[in-house]
């Protein structure tokens, strides 16, 4: 019975930021579990390359380019993503960016706006578009990928931490707005060895503070996403699950 609860075969999953890092790992993980995937990122060629890779796994997949910082592109993604397979069962708002700032004073308005646009404004809009259609249809699950940086913010990531904290708050409100047919949850990853892990990946001082004494591999995010997407989490909504190896709060 437990195996059936985790079953996502045949579900339609839309993943933003799905062509690299944690997003790509989730796209592959869901495809290997039998889900059909709408994969999105900024570059059309990357979307199509990943979609072709997923189709080779025996599932249906389409790639739709979108810069989530622009609402007109988000609106297009929601419309085309829904139309691709006639519904969306699972939305994973994974696209994000986390540039470091030399200081708060030296943070430019352009950088601040870009970080907020990608990490909060875009996911807010896509959740509202897809979530409302899920409510009008058969329901679904929405998973917002946040960060432990929002729970333990540091001076060099204040705009990023603030944007992810806003996403955390919005997720709770969306869970109330779209429940009971739609569940909305958050995953807060810690340090993962993705292609953006450049400045800290070789730092023993970081891993020394983590209970598991190491960084995460991209594939280690997949099981939590599968749990939140499946009936195994049928009584879980408005939750924020840390996947951080036991990093300090």
Structure confidence at residue 19 (pLDDT): 98
Q: How far apart are CA 154 and CA 224, in angstroms?
A: 25
Structure confidence at residue 196 (pLDDT): 63
What's the predicted TM-score (pTM) here?
0.95
Confidence at 101, pLDDT banded by 50, 70, 90: confident
Q: How far apart are CA 224 and CA 220, in angstroms?
A: 8
Q: Over the stretch 172-229, which tens digit does the pLDDT of each residue have?
A: 999 999 999 999 999 999 999 987 655 555 666 778 889 999 999 999 999 999 999 9
160 catalytically annotated: yes
Q: How far apart are CA 242 and CA 249, in angstroms?
A: 10
Structure confidence at residue 1 (pLDDT): 52
* pLDDT above 60: residue 114: yes
Q: Over the stretch 26-36, which tens digit does the pLDDT of each residue have?
A: 999 999 999 99
> What residue spans define the domains of the chain?
2-242
pLDDT over 90 for what percent of the chain? Answer: 88
Q: Over the stretch 48-100, which tens digit does the pLDDT of each residue have?
A: 999 999 999 999 999 999 999 999 999 999 999 999 999 999 999 999 998 88
pLDDT over 70 for what percent of the chain? Answer: 95
CA–CA–CA angle 52, 68, 184 (5° rounding): 90
Q: Dihedral of CA 224/225/231/236: which sign?
A: positive
Fold of 2-242: Rossmann fold (3.40.50)
Q: How far apart are CA 148 and CA 46, in angstroms?
A: 28
CB of 13 closer than 8 Å to CB of 89? yes
Rounded mean pLDDT of the chain?
94
* pLDDT above 60: residue 127: yes
Section 20-47 average pLDDT:
98
Block residue for tokens 């979108």: 66
Catalytic residue among 160, 178, 227, 235: 160
Section 140-168 average pLDDT:
96
């Amino acid at each position: 019975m437990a195996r059936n609860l985790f079953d996502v075969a045949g579900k339609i999953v839309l993943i933003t930021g799905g062509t690299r890092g944690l997003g790509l790992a989730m796209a592959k993980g869901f495809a290997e579990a039998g889900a059909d995937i709408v994969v999105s990122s900024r570059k059309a060629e990357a979307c199509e390359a990943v979609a072709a890779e997923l189709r080779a796994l025996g599932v249906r997949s389409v790639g739709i380019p979108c810069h989530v910082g622009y609402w007109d592109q988000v609106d297009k993604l929601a419309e085309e993503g829904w139309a691709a397979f006639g519904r969306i069962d699972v939305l994973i708002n994974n696209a994000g960016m986390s540039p470091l700032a030399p200081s708060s004073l030296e943070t430019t308005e352009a950088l601040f706006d870009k970080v907020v646009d990608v990490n909060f404004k875009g996911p807010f809009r896509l959740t509202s578009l897809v979530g409302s259609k899920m409510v009008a249809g058969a329901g679904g699950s929405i998973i917002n990928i946040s960060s432990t940086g929002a729970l333990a913010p540091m001076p060099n990531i204040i705009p990023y931490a603030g944007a992810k904290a806003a996403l955390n708050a919005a997720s709770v409100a969306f869970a109330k707005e779209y429940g009971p047919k739609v569940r909305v949850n958050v995953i807060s990853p810690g340090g993962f060895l993705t292609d953006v892990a450049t400045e800290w990946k070789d730092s023993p001082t970081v891993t020394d503070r983590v209970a598991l004494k190491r960084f995460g591999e991209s594939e280690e995010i997949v099981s939590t996403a599968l749990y939140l997407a499946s009936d195994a989490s049928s009584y879980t909504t408005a939750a924020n699950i840390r996947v951080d190896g036991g990093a300090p709060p």
